[in-house]
Amino acid sequence: TGEVSDIVFLTTLDVSEKPAQIADYYDLRWNIENRCNRELSQKWNVRRPIGRKLRAIFAQICMSAMCLNAV
């Protein structure tokens, strides 16, 4: 439609950072998070965490990694 919309980033980075650099940081972070989630769900078969506590999720990931290394 030819309309221009603003993109807003909320960050704790120093205000002296250049906006383009902040966008680059955001893009890198987004890629890391998505790749990690894809890797866990598709290759490690971690579709649903076994618990809600961080320790339970961490244990599940560690056990999955150990099982994959044993194969």
What's the pTM value of the predicted model, to 2 decimals? Answer: 0.45
- Tokens representing 10 are 């909320």
Dump pLDDT digits (tens) for 1-52: 678 788 787 888 888 888 888 888 888 888 877 887 787 777 777 777 778 8
CA distance 13 to 17: 7
Determine the longest span between alpha carbons in the chain, in angstroms.
55
